[in-house]
Structure 1
Amino acid sequence: MALTVIGGTLKGRRLFSPTGMAIRPTSGRVREALFNIFMHETPGATVLDLFAGTGALAIEALSRGAARAVLIDNTPAALAVIQKNIHACELQSSARAIRHDAAQNLACLPSLGMTFDLVFMDPPYKSGAIGQVLENLRVSQTLLPGAWVVAEHSRKTTAEAAACDGRDFSLTDQRKYGKTVVSFFQYMVETPMNSDTPPFHHTHDAG
């Protein structure tokens, strides 16, 4: 099935998604669910897309009104696809792609002079990287208070993701979409949680 932008000003725009590469784009079903959840947070947001793959999540956010996006991946082939999609969608002025290994550190972020409202991460399912990436985000000091971090992972790592609750990040929800689980973390720094989304502490199953 072709990879396309689901909603917003770029709705229906086809995105490049080469076959034969170790890229696992977030499914249309999951993307649609995520942006229904964050429909009020996305407009005007500054978005960070880690392990960006094709860039579909960040591009979807920009299509729906996000102001800027930074897309990070450590694979040259993925970076090439991301750049093609940015150009195909004419998003050069609002999207920037960077080659970096987010599982190692996020030292590339502070020099950008940007702070982020919404972060997506989709690390390789077997990497066990969620906890380390959350720590890297904390150390980078580039998240706004109350920022959301959305981690996509397999059902097998649901408990691992749940164990990341704490150390400035509160796990507010986990939702299942087939074999995929999405964990929602909120960045908690000195200020109480400020969000219209209720702080769930159990797992929803969307099928």
Structure 2
Amino acid sequence: MKIVSGKFGGLNLKAVPGNDTRPTSAKVKEAVFSMIGPYLQYGNSLDLFAGTGSLGIESVSRGYEKSYLVDKAYKAISTIKENVEKTNSRDQFQIIKSSATEALNKLHSDGVKFDLVFLDPPYRMKITEQIVKDMIEQEMIEEGGIFVVETDYEVTIEGIEKLSLIKMKDYKDTKVAIYQYGG
């Protein structure tokens, strides 16, 4: 697994040991960044179910100031720490060992807002829509901010004012949807 482009381009990342984590393939990651390219704002990114940290690291590699990498699994956090160390840019990352809900509550209370959010929860959880609604309601996404949603089913987030689907694409058993807030 490698960083595709930017200042860390070509950097080899470690995978999380075992079969509990499903890393985003290089093909899907490259496609995601191609799809969101015209909408990028380069502030803070959030990788809420970070696994290896690959998406958040890629966002910093491509120009984001800081990425918050959240996972609750010990093996994932250990892997994220190793991968972040390889960048020699530790200060551009905040690694949080926590559930998604607890992390969002803490980040909200700290007043952190995001320009780019990666949501790739374990497929069985089906919580993506609620997370998006909560983040918008708590004003955690900047105007023009992007949600990148990766699931095994078609996510349709409807009824949220100022949220629009930019693009949806299938990759074998993975569906990627890109939404923009406001802007």
Same fold (TM over 0.5): yes
The answer to whether 1:44 aligns with 2:61 is no
Provide the C-alpha distance between the structure 2 equivalents of 1:141 and 1:99, rounded to a whole number of angstroms: 23
Assess, with a 3 A threshold, how the Cα gap between structure 1 residues 78 and 47 changes in structure 2: closer, same or farther: same
1:166 to 156, 159, 162: 159
2:17 is aligned with what amino acid?
T
Provide the C-alpha distance between the structure 2 equivalents of 1:149 and 1:182, rounded to a whole number of angstroms: 10
Offset from partner CA, 1:84-105 (integer Å, 9 cap, x none): 1111111211110112222577
Assess, with a 3 A threshold, how the Cα gap between structure 1 residues 47 and 65 changes in structure 2: closer, same or farther: same
1:76 to 67, 74, 77: 74
The structure with the largest alpha-carbon Rg is: 1
Assess, with a 3 A threshold, how the Cα gap between structure 1 residues 173 and 36 changes in structure 2: closer, same or farther: closer
* DSSP-derived class of the 1:51 partner: coil
Aligned to 2:111: 113
Aligned to 2:174: 180
Assess, with a 3 A threshold, how the Cα gap between structure 1 residues 18 and 52 changes in structure 2: closer, same or farther: closer
Deviation of the 1:54 alpha carbon: 0.4
1:175 is aligned with what amino acid?
K
Instruction: Map 1:132-151; keep pairs closer than 5 Å.
Output: 132-151=130-149
Provide the C-alpha distance between the structure 2 equivalents of 1:85 and 1:43, rounded to a whole number of angstroms: 24
Q: Which has the higher helix share?
A: 2
Structure with more contact order per residue of length (Cα contacts < 8 Å, sep ≥ 6): 2
What percentage of residue pairs aligned between the two structures are identical?
32
Instruction: Map 1:1-207; keep pairs closer than 5 Å.
Output: 3-42=1-40, 44-103=42-101, 106-154=104-152, 157-158=153-154, 161-162=155-156, 164-168=157-161, 169-188=163-182, 194=183
Assess, with a 3 A threshold, how the Cα gap between structure 1 residues 120 and 81 changes in structure 2: closer, same or farther: same
Assess, with a 3 A threshold, how the Cα gap between structure 1 residues 166 and 185 changes in structure 2: closer, same or farther: farther
Assess, with a 3 A threshold, how the Cα gap between structure 1 residues 62 and 43 changes in structure 2: closer, same or farther: farther
Deviation of the 1:114 alpha carbon: 2.6
Offset from partner CA, 1:32-72 (integer Å, 9 cap, x none): 01111223444633111110110000101111111111111
User: RMSD over aligned Cα, in angstroms?
Assistant: 1.8
- Alignment size in residue pairs: 182
* DSSP-derived class of the 2:118 partner: strand
Assess, with a 3 A threshold, how the Cα gap between structure 1 residues 14 and 153 changes in structure 2: closer, same or farther: same
State TM-score, norm by structure 1. 0.81
Offset from partner CA, 1:127-182 (integer Å, 9 cap, x none): 1111121122123321111211110001xx21xx11x2222333333111121100
Provide the C-alpha distance between the structure 2 equivalents of 1:84 and 1:94, rounded to a whole number of angstroms: 14
Provide the C-alpha distance between the structure 1 equivalents of 2:127 and 2:29, rounded to a whole number of angstroms: 21
* DSSP-derived class of the 1:107 partner: helix
* DSSP-derived class of the 2:16 partner: coil
Q: Does structure 2 conserve the Cα–Cα contact (< 8 Å) formed by 1:105 and 1:136? A: no
Q: Gaps spanning 5+ residues in structure 2: where? A: none
State TM-score, norm by structure 2. 0.90
